Structure 1
């Protein structure tokens, strides 16, 4: 009975900032890439927990209940975060309390209470919805290709044809490619779901292999002028500058993946598109696919 009371007293005494420090140590072990560095998910966890700690600097961990989570969420809305961003942040807080419950830092009722906060939904809250990412129209893409140097042209075309995630694309190395005649298989060392011990298979056909063609098949397939790999900032900057030279509306590398998703889905169906894009679910693939109004109109002419 005495031990039980001591445990209960310890749970009630733990401060939120102490729980945050313990969870960050745990997350640092969980969310680490093959290069030994923390992943972007760990950085996102660290960011939201820092915001939570600033908002509630001196409360007990057991005192974070639904109304306090909602109050923190309302502050995120006032700071102009989008619905998706806010839901992701609250989800990370819920994960921390699952961890706390497993290790008996808080009672199970605290965990259940925190997880009772429902996600925000578009049209039912004050937070702004995420802006829909659309594919790049071919006219704009062609204008950018005309003013780009040889390497940027090849990069954009390869990205457009394969639909790789930007990180998979610019971290591609020759040693990761298995080329056999007119087809190739690319198995990236590190990717979005690598922490789940899943392999990501990306296939290339003759057009892509021709665009990759190089006599110096060592290191990164696409290198900067300094001989290093591109990153999401340098690659995006190159595209934005090309858009400015062409005098067209700017687009981002992410939009090229949406081009591929739409093309894959229309040609091969959503199941194949899901595998080509490396998505876990078909629902995720549908987010990337452009609304097929033209296809519906063609169907109407034939069947309705």
Structure 2
């Protein structure tokens, strides 16, 4: 019987007790035992031991959720815990930290845990999933978001089936629940993301902090994603060609082996050149740093001070502040700053991603759909190398005339 102890790293111990017996502690500190075939030290016992060691290394979460019997003994809550442990290892950014998909998964499975935590995972079927979906409708979520979250719940059980924590039939049954259709559900519809007009952007810019304003202008002139602009570094910008080309180290389709090249036309180059004046940055340092922005703001305040600095005001920096400024902005920081700026400017609220839609709309109107796809970095998984090269040439043409 599994017994709990203080958390300890997983390890394996082979003991002699007549027949071969394998004991191990998982990462949660729970002890597990399995009786092996044959006598201790026999070929059958050693072969089974080696196989089980590989199974534990391949799926460290499985022993946690199923105890002695690895076949279909987990509750929904245990299954969700095991999946989240897998997700935090699998969905990681290149810097090793859990990515945004982990947050989305947690939000998606929260109502499953709240409604069916104690239910056996094998018994969680389409009707239970429909109940979870209805709870999302009542919570006021829009139809598209509900469908995405339900698909993530199905992904949890797909993973569980691949780990043999539930039978495949459990996952296949969940797949029979169709997504909500427009006009055939009480779930509200999301507002379409529309391009933002240039006049509204121009009215907003003066009310943005300097660093945020530069990033917004780059989004405006290039159509890149907010997550790409906050990651800009000098060593990722090729300034030896015209137009300049920014190649993000991390982007949306990097995990699929796709390259991303963002040409920087005259407008974008002018914005970057003006920003880099009197700033000395290391090649791999983020161009836009909240810490550097704060230091520059404080320096300007000190230079503009007309009265003598009092001894008590020479340095008010806390030794160990609870919140330290980050080295890099987040896409959410741009969204927040734009929301505040639109209120100050007295213009309708808009989202930074609308700049990408606006850029794509302009390109399509001036050059056509193919140019728009190239400029925004839209490629199919089956695209050939020749197709990608043609896209690059089209994107450069767009940047030279519009960027």
Using the size of structure 1 for normalisation, the TM-score is 0.82
**Offset of residue 14 of structure 1:** 2.0
| Larger CA deviation: 24-33 vs 272-281 | 272-281
Is residue 226 from structure 1 mapped to residue 286 from structure 2 by the alignment? no
8 Å CA contact 2:72–2:164 kept in 1: the answer is no
Residue 127 (structure 2) aligns with: 67
Q: Give the stretch that moved more between structures: 144-153 or 189-198.
A: 144-153
Q: Contact 2:222 / 2:264 at 8 angstroms: preserved in 1?
A: yes
Contact 1:33 1:195 in 2 (8 A): no
Q: 1:155 aligns with which of 215, 228, 236?
A: 215
1:187/1:201 contact within 8 Å kept: yes
- Give the RMSD, CA atoms, in angstroms: 2.3
2:5 matched residue in structure 1: none
1:243-268 deviation per Cα after TM superposition (whole angstroms, max 9, x unaligned)? 23322112221111111121122223
**1:27, distance to aligned residue in structure 2 (A):** 1.7
Which 5+ residue runs of structure 2 have no aligned equivalent?
Answer: 1-68, 296-326, 382-403
Q: Secondary structure at the match of 2:188?
A: coil
- Structure 1 partner of 2:244: 184
Correspondence list, 1:265-284, <5 A: 265-280=364-379
Match of 1:49 in 2: 109
Residues 240, 49 of structure 1: alpha-carbon distance in 2 compared, 3 angstrom cutoff: closer
Change (3 A) 1:153 1:98: closer
Q: Does the 8 Å CA contact 1:135/1:258 hold for their aligned counterparts?
A: yes
How do 1:247-266 and structure 2 match up within 5 A?
Answer: 247-266=346-365
Question: Is the contact made by 2:73 and 2:165 (CA closer than 8 Å) also made in structure 1?
Answer: no
Matched, 1:86 2:146: yes
* 1:20-39 aligned within 5 A: 20-39=80-99
SS at match of 1:13: coil
The question of whether the paired residues in 2 share the 8 Å contact of 1:212 and 1:221 is answered with: no
Instruction: Quickly say closer, same or farther: Cα 1:182–1:57, change in 2 above 3 A.
Output: same
Change (3 A) 1:42 1:176: same
Q: How does 1:186-201 map to 2 (within 5 A)?
A: 186-201=246-261
| Corresponding residue number in structure 1 for 2:234 | 174
Which shows bigger deviation, 200-209 or 153-162? 153-162
Q: Which runs of 4+ in 1 moved over 6 A?
A: none
Equivalent residue in structure 2 for 1:134, among 181, 190, 194: 194
Check 1:149–1:54 CA distance in 2 against 1; reply closer, same or farther (3 A cut).
closer
For residues 200-245 of structure 1, the C-alpha deviation after alignment (integer angstroms, 9 at most, x for no partner) is 2211112211110024362222343226432223322332333233
Q: CA offset at residue 181 of structure 1? A: 4.5
Gaps of 5+ in 1: 1-8, 283-304
SS at match of 1:180: coil
Q: Secondary structure at the match of 2:357?
A: helix
Query: Counterpart of 1:244?
Result: 343
Aligned residues: 275
Q: C-alpha offsets along residues 184-205 of structure 1, whole Å, 9 cap, x if unaligned?
A: 1111122222222322221111
1:37-83 Cα offsets, whole Å, 9 max, x none, are 01111121122223311111100111111111001100100000111
Q: Which has the higher helix share?
A: 1
Larger of the two Rg values belongs to structure:
2
Q: Secondary structure at the match of 1:211?
A: helix
More strand by share: 2
Distance 2:211 2:101 in 1: 31
Could you tell which deviates more after superposition, 12-21 or 248-257? 12-21
TM-score norm. by structure 2 comes to 0.63
Higher normalized contact order (CA 8 Å, seq sep 6+, divided by chain length): 1
Residue 161 of structure 1: how far off its partner (Å): 1.3
